[in-house]
Structure 1
Amino acid sequence: MIDPSEPPHVQIARQQRIIDALIRRANRQHEVGETAYSAFQSAIALQGEVWAKTRDLERAASELEEVRHERERTRRNLSDALSAMEGGFALFTAGTLEVCNDLFRSLLPDLRERLVPGLRIEDYFDALSKSGHLVSSDGRMQTSLTRARHGPVGASVLSVVIELTGDRWFQINLQRTSDENVVILQTEITAIVRQNRSERESLIDRQAHYLQAALENMSSGICTFSSAGEVILHNTRFRDLLGLPFTLLQKGTRLGAILEFIRANALIRDADGMDFAQWEDRIARQGRIRRRMRHAGGRVLDLFAHRLPDGGFLVDVKDVTLESRATEMLEKRVDERTAELTRANRRLTAQSEAQAQVEEELRLAKERAEAAVSSKTRFLAAASHDLLQPVNAAKLLISTLVQRAEDTSLATLVERLDGSFASIEEILHALLDISRLDSTDGALTPADVSLGAIMRGVIEDQAPLAAKRGVQLDIVPSSVWVRSDQRYLMRSVQNLVVNALQYTEPGGRVLVGCRNRGTDRVVLEVWDTGMGISARDQKRIFDEFARAENVPFASGMGLGLSIVERTCRHMGHKVRVRSKPGVGSVFSIEMRTVPGRRTEPDDSDAPALRPEALGEDMDVIALLVENDPDVLFATTELLEGWGASVLPAASTEAALTHVADMGMAPDIIVADFQLDGDDTGVAAIEAVRAATGVRVPAIMVTADRSESLLRQGVETGFAILTKPVQPARLRPLIDWKVRWQAPDAAAAPDPADADKSRP
């Protein structure tokens, strides 16, 4: 019934009420009891309980008295502690003053009577701000008081410095110690403020001395003015440069007085034009003034005036006499130099006019030279057909003559004639190739080229020569594609192989293959075991008509490697040679590969021609379309010598007449591209196919090497052989066309796919 944790006086009051209730109960029991004995027993029991409660009450009273004494002792200790504090202290509980020390009351005498317990903290700060002893504060007390009520416990929420009368300074700190308690501390900082003030004034004095010393050691004259235009600070150099008296240039002297003295004593030449009266106003509006003046003593002065942040301004005067004299001398020299340059310019203008005339003459000469080169190129293009026509006819006739003279006394003579004519043909081809490569129109047509097809074509062409010389000719197959000109790349590889065969002794070996160089380049190499080339000759063998010193006489004109070098230079390929005399040579061409193309679609799927088929009679009907009578005769003789039945025609119309008379389609069409007038071999092939309704296999013989004709061959479906025709390639091609690309062949591949890469 009694909580031991409650205060003693509360416990005593509750015990007293319990005793009174027990007494009243005992009285009621006595009144209604049946016997005196029961009443006596009740009295005895009640008395015992009363004695027990009395003892408890006396013990509680004793404890309460001890608590009261302890509380008084604590209050006296707190009062003594507060009195011993050097600063003022006040404790506000629930927003009202609980306790404070005497120093807190004596800070502001006019507030002493109001600082009593129960004073609200808001009223204290309001009275503080209105005290007659308060000189200044930072005005943050009310805001900090609001934060103190809601801020975190233990945080200092206010620190205010106030100034009191008598140059006294105090710092007021307000701190929240619990949810309801706020402590205010007053600390006197008068000594600290006065010491800081003294140190600041001393520092300002020292800085002033430093500033004055710095100004005195400057080469320029410096003077500062206040916003009212009065002198604040200046150095001796300023007075010396302007020639001002010491008595005039003192602190407080106005700028107007200084300018009036300068004007009155003519210290500055042309002072009337300096607008002295407008200087102050101009500085105030524009912020700066810059003037160059000539002093009466002969000095040249530059004056700069700049406005300062406080409204005053600074005047800087510099002696620029030497700079001015140097500038005048420089300007004089510039004038002299300008006159010289003007005269030189006149001479240069005359020379330029003469040079322009020379350049115009050179331009005209260049145009004439380019026109001559272009004319030469057009002549070569036009004449190549006319040059190659008789060569083609002679080559075919000699081939027929070789066949017919076999096993006769004329065989050796005809063989020598064939060799001499081959040399003429090689020289003619070399000259034409060099002329085309050197032409301004550009003879090269870059395209994706299969190195495998190039190497196979060269090996097939040069196999007879290798067999004749007793040299082993081998090839390492390749599936790499490169970006180059097909015809000239094949020509270059052929020249390298021919040279290797020509300078390799019987029993030697020539090897053609490719090596990868990194991920995007390939090197085509031609190895031989020939006589080799000396280091000195390796530097010049790619020049025209250059041959190594160890080369036998009459072994060539030295044009093959020149064509290789020109082709590689135009296409961006790198051609190199490694050689050792008596051991052999390696010629290489480095090219960039075509990404994603590593197969060989042209000839890899074509059936191989049986070697014994070349010795059989060619049992075919061949329609030959050629407008040149000599070439027509020679080709007819050659084909008939192989066993073919030949229908010679000079035009498309004659070819159609043969087909109509025969009443059937021929087995093969061999046509020249350029016929008389507008007639072409393409028109003849298309006309024969249209008349017979059969896609007759066709071969185009031409000197035209253009890319457009190659594309037309792919579209129309005919193979291309360039003039002069090599019989060793014509017969296998005819046989392959007839055997494997006949119109009724069940799965014949497209002829263009097999022949478009052949030269």
Structure 2
Amino acid sequence: MIDPDDPPLVQVEKQAKIIDALIRRASRQKDVGPSAYRAFQSAIDLQQKVAAQTIELESARSERERTRKTLAEALASMEEGLALFSDGALNICNDLFIGLLPDVSDRIVPGLTLEQYFQLMAGSKYLVSTDRKLSKFSRALESRQAAGAVVSVIVEVPRDRWYQLSAQRTSHENTVLLLTEITALVRHNRREKEHLIDRQSDYLQAVFQNMTAGVCTFSAAGEVRMHNGRFRDILGVPLAMVQPGTPLQDLLDFMRTRGLIDDAALARKDAWRAELARKGALTARVSHGVDRVLDVQINALPDDGFIVELKDVTLETRSTEILENRVAERTAELTRANASLTKQYEEKARVEEELRVAKERAEAAVSSKTRFLAAASHDLLQPINAAKLLISSLQETTRETRFRPLVERLQGAFSSAEYLLHSLLDISRLESADPDTVTVTDVSLEGLMRGVRADQALVAAQKDVRLDVVPCSLVVRSDPVYLLRSIQNLVVNAIQYTDPGGRVLLGCRRRGARVALEVWDTGIGISAKDQLRIFDEFTRAENVPIGSGVGLGLSVVDRACRLLDHDLTVRSKPGTGSVFSIEMDVVDRTLANPVPFGPVEDTFDGALDCIALVIENDADVLYGATQWLELRGASVLPARSTAEALTHVADLGMPPDIILADYQLDGTDTGVQATQDIRAATESHVPAILITADRSESVRRRGMLNDMSVLTKPAELSRLLPLIDWKLRSARSDADTDKSRR
């Protein structure tokens, strides 16, 4: 029956009604029963609780009134005006806040909105000024909704009193306005500003008086206002002539009568005033007295007056004149020197032109020589190859005759000519700047070193020099052709300059990621002076006997090593011997793919029982190769073209045992194409050897792609014979393997 959420007064009224109803009911009954008694007892308890709550309510009301009175007293005791707006309406404020503007104080009452308060302020006659419009202040306060946001405005009221009105939202519903008097602060700042202005005026006066330039200001009427001491000193006029109020014309007349200013300057006075009015500033240099020069700078002032600045530039002018005279004299000297230099330059240009022409002729000659040697290498090597084959055949046929010594001397002379020709062609190729000159690839040192031993063992034995080779299984990055040529040249030199009974050693030393290939000898040695020039063309050491070569071998080695980025060094002592070293980068054998070298030693001592197809377009080379092979037991089918070779194969009715082909045949015909056609016609993979004067990487790769061993002309016959035997045995082994599989 009683809602506990109702206000206490409502609950009391309901309880009184319930008690009255219970009392009336009890009086109508004759006997008071237990239920009626319990109801009456409950009513009594309820009335006691209501009385207790009523007392608490009265106590709360009294406490709230005391708190409000305390808050009002606290606000009244504050030295700052304060007002609290709740939900946009004035809740409470102190007297200082109300009394700021007396003409509107009676309308500042609880319930007044913020907007209404700002409107009252704006319309008050006691509001002298604000640093911002109150409408902007109100909008700024509305735009800052977050609690703690503060907006302030400076307010000026009569009798030079100043306040700072600050507004801060303490919560979403409450806004506090705080009035803080800042009159003392404003007046203090004003005094400080006036003091600074006074001090600044003193500073400016001090600076003005101590300027190195003379300065004087004039009014719009042309009368002196103020000047510094330097102005009077520069002009040389008495103090009375620059007193304030002195007309400019009087000053000019005084200076004219004393000869301090010329008539021309006076005549330009009106023109200066017109130019000053038009441009606002002007500058002029004038004579002053007999021997002085002044710079005059005039600038217009805002009140139509002007300021004149004088600088004494007499010394500067005299220095400039002296410098100009010196410059003129120096210019004359330089003109004469230039004429002399021009003549010398013309003479030098004539000499340089003659040198240029001579250089071009020399370069053309060298280029022509280089191109000739590079282009003619094939034609030069062809007869050398033919002669080599024929001399080898002649050695075989005269072995047991009286002509053997003669043939051996012919072989020696021919070997010297071949070595010289190889050196010349190597230098030509290394100078040609052809990117295909050297081809860096993986090279196994073991094959090269064994090949050098096979080539030079007979030469060393004939001279009674012990040649030892310690093979090395390392793989390096180099060009196989030029590395082999370099090693051969070093070994040939070592044998040549080692006396009979001496020793030559070829071996390697591992140095971390590099290896040094070294050639040791017990020869005549090289002096320190000669070690600096032995790698030049046509240069030999002083202790070399006459007729020991023309000095090209080491030059070829040096050029090849520089192109291959190998380190070439020499250590030597006269009478003891020499050590030449070529240092190269080592390649991991597990990752290397070294160029195949084939057999290197002539261990074959039987007859070549085979049918050899020789394809060569040079008649002399073809004849020499045919004779050389037939003397060694081979049946030879000579052919000068692919078509002729195919005819021989067709007549034979079976594939040849081996093909020896030159790469460059007539026209576009090549030995590679001939080998491909013969293999296709016979349906047999005939073993083949490509013998060519072309040492380019492209030809070598083309031969390898077609399973053709590649030899360069003139072919080393000591290597050709075992290579033929090795190719034949490999082919037979492959054929036997195929038969066994079938």
Alignment correspondent of 2:561 = 568
Is the Cα contact below 8 Å between 2:101 and 2:126 reproduced in 1?
Answer: yes
The secondary structure found in structure 2 opposite 1:561 is: helix
Distance 2:275 2:288 in 1: 22
Asked if 1:300 corresponds to 2:297, the answer is no
CA RMSD of aligned residues (A): 5.7
Shift of 1:670: 5.4
Shift of 1:341: 3.7
Distance 2:646 2:630 in 1: 21
The secondary structure found in structure 2 opposite 1:471 is: strand
User: 2:506 is matched by which residue type in structure 1?
Assistant: L
Shift of 1:204: 1.9
Q: Please point out which of 488, 491, 499 is paired with 2:493.
A: 499
Alignment of 1:24-39 (within 5 A): 26-27=23-24, 30=27, 33=28, 35=30
Asked if 1:616 corresponds to 2:607, the answer is yes
Alignment correspondent of 2:165 = 172
Alignment correspondent of 2:101 = 108
The secondary structure found in structure 2 opposite 1:511 is: strand
Distance 1:92 1:622 in 2: 121
Identity of aligned residues (%): 47
Is the Cα contact below 8 Å between 1:221 and 1:235 reproduced in 2?
Answer: yes
What do the CA deviations read for 1:244-288 (whole angstroms, capped 9, x no partner)?
A: 98789899x99xx869976997765773585422424434xxxxx
TM-score normalized by the length of structure 1:
0.73
Is the Cα contact below 8 Å between 1:472 and 1:507 reproduced in 2?
Answer: no
What do the CA deviations read for 1:459-482 (whole angstroms, capped 9, x no partner)?
A: 442344456644222321343343
Distance 1:395 1:640 in 2: 15
User: 2:532 is matched by which residue type in structure 1?
Assistant: K
Shift of 1:230: 11
The secondary structure found in structure 1 opposite 2:440 is: strand
The secondary structure found in structure 2 opposite 1:429 is: helix
Asked if 1:511 corresponds to 2:502, the answer is no
Q: Please point out which of 279, 298, 302 is paired with 2:276.
A: 279
Is the Cα contact below 8 Å between 2:443 and 2:477 reproduced in 1?
Answer: yes
Distance 2:382 2:85 in 1: 128
What do the CA deviations read for 1:323-364 (whole angstroms, capped 9, x no partner)?
A: 444444444444444444444444444333333333333333
Going from structure 1 to structure 2, the CA distance change for 1:635 and 1:304 (only over 3 Å counts) comes to farther
Alignment correspondent of 2:629 = 639
What do the CA deviations read for 1:676-735 (whole angstroms, capped 9, x no partner)?
A: xx6899489949967994587665666565667657766888666545444313322443
Distance 1:407 1:224 in 2: 131
The secondary structure found in structure 1 opposite 2:535 is: coil
Distance 1:661 1:426 in 2: 41
Alignment correspondent of 2:122 = 129
Alignment of 1:356-755 (within 5 A): 356-377=349-370, 380=373, 392=385, 395-404=388-397, 406=399, 415=408, 418-434=411-427, 437=430, 445-452=437-444, 454-455=448-449, 457-465=451-459, 469-482=465-478, 484=479, 487-502=481-496, 508=503, 510-513=505-508, 515=510, 523=515, 525-528=517-520, 530-531=522-523, 535-544=528-537, 546-547=539-540, 556-570=549-563, 572-579=565-572, 585-590=578-583, 598-600=591-593, 602-603=595-596, 613-616=604-607, 618-620=609-611, 623=614, 635=625, 637-646=627-636, 682=670, 686=674, 693-694=681-682, 705=695, 721-740=711-730
The secondary structure found in structure 1 opposite 2:469 is: strand
Distance 1:117 1:229 in 2: 69
Distance 2:704 2:46 in 1: 135
User: 1:299 is matched by which residue type in structure 2?
Assistant: V
What number of residue pairs does the alignment pair up? 719
Distance 1:689 1:126 in 2: 114
Distance 2:239 2:420 in 1: 107
Is the Cα contact below 8 Å between 2:276 and 2:282 reproduced in 1?
Answer: no
Distance 2:73 2:375 in 1: 131
The secondary structure found in structure 1 opposite 2:596 is: coil
Distance 1:401 1:51 in 2: 155
Unaligned runs of 5+ in 1: 284-288, 749-759
Is the Cα contact below 8 Å between 1:672 and 1:681 reproduced in 2?
Answer: no
Is the Cα contact below 8 Å between 1:172 and 1:186 reproduced in 2?
Answer: yes
Distance 1:134 1:247 in 2: 55
Distance 1:260 1:164 in 2: 55
The secondary structure found in structure 2 opposite 1:356 is: helix
Is the Cα contact below 8 Å between 2:8 and 2:54 reproduced in 1?
Answer: no
Shift of 1:136: 0.8
Distance 1:221 1:150 in 2: 59
Shift of 1:495: 0.7
Is the Cα contact below 8 Å between 1:26 and 1:46 reproduced in 2?
Answer: yes
Shift of 1:435: 5.6
User: 1:479 is matched by which residue type in structure 2?
Assistant: V
Distance 2:243 2:125 in 1: 43
Shift of 1:166: 1.5
Is the Cα contact below 8 Å between 2:603 and 2:722 reproduced in 1?
Answer: no
Going from structure 1 to structure 2, the CA distance change for 1:348 and 1:517 (only over 3 Å counts) comes to farther
Is the Cα contact below 8 Å between 1:479 and 1:598 reproduced in 2?
Answer: no
Distance 1:569 1:214 in 2: 77
Shift of 1:595: 11
Shift of 1:201: 0.9
Distance 2:651 2:658 in 1: 17
Going from structure 1 to structure 2, the CA distance change for 1:60 and 1:582 (only over 3 Å counts) comes to same
Is the Cα contact below 8 Å between 1:575 and 1:587 reproduced in 2?
Answer: yes
Going from structure 1 to structure 2, the CA distance change for 1:265 and 1:38 (only over 3 Å counts) comes to same
Distance 2:325 2:391 in 1: 91
Going from structure 1 to structure 2, the CA distance change for 1:110 and 1:454 (only over 3 Å counts) comes to same
User: 1:497 is matched by which residue type in structure 2?
Assistant: V
Going from structure 1 to structure 2, the CA distance change for 1:24 and 1:451 (only over 3 Å counts) comes to closer
Alignment correspondent of 2:210 = 217
Shift of 1:488: 3.6
Distance 1:197 1:190 in 2: 11
Going from structure 1 to structure 2, the CA distance change for 1:53 and 1:736 (only over 3 Å counts) comes to closer
Going from structure 1 to structure 2, the CA distance change for 1:142 and 1:477 (only over 3 Å counts) comes to same
The secondary structure found in structure 1 opposite 2:470 is: strand
Going from structure 1 to structure 2, the CA distance change for 1:65 and 1:368 (only over 3 Å counts) comes to closer
Shift of 1:160: 2.9
Is the Cα contact below 8 Å between 1:497 and 1:526 reproduced in 2?
Answer: no
The secondary structure found in structure 1 opposite 2:569 is: strand
Deviates more, 1:164-173 or 1:335-344: 335-344
Is the Cα contact below 8 Å between 2:129 and 2:155 reproduced in 1?
Answer: yes
Alignment of 1:239-250 (within 5 A): none
The secondary structure found in structure 1 opposite 2:347 is: helix
Unaligned runs of 5+ in 2: none
Is the Cα contact below 8 Å between 2:18 and 2:43 reproduced in 1?
Answer: no
Alignment of 1:16-55 (within 5 A): 18-19=15-16, 22-23=19-20, 26-27=23-24, 30=27, 33=28, 35=30
Going from structure 1 to structure 2, the CA distance change for 1:464 and 1:155 (only over 3 Å counts) comes to same
Asked if 1:352 corresponds to 2:345, the answer is yes
Shift of 1:88: 3.7
Shift of 1:12: 6.6
Asked if 1:206 corresponds to 2:202, the answer is no
The secondary structure found in structure 2 opposite 1:205 is: helix
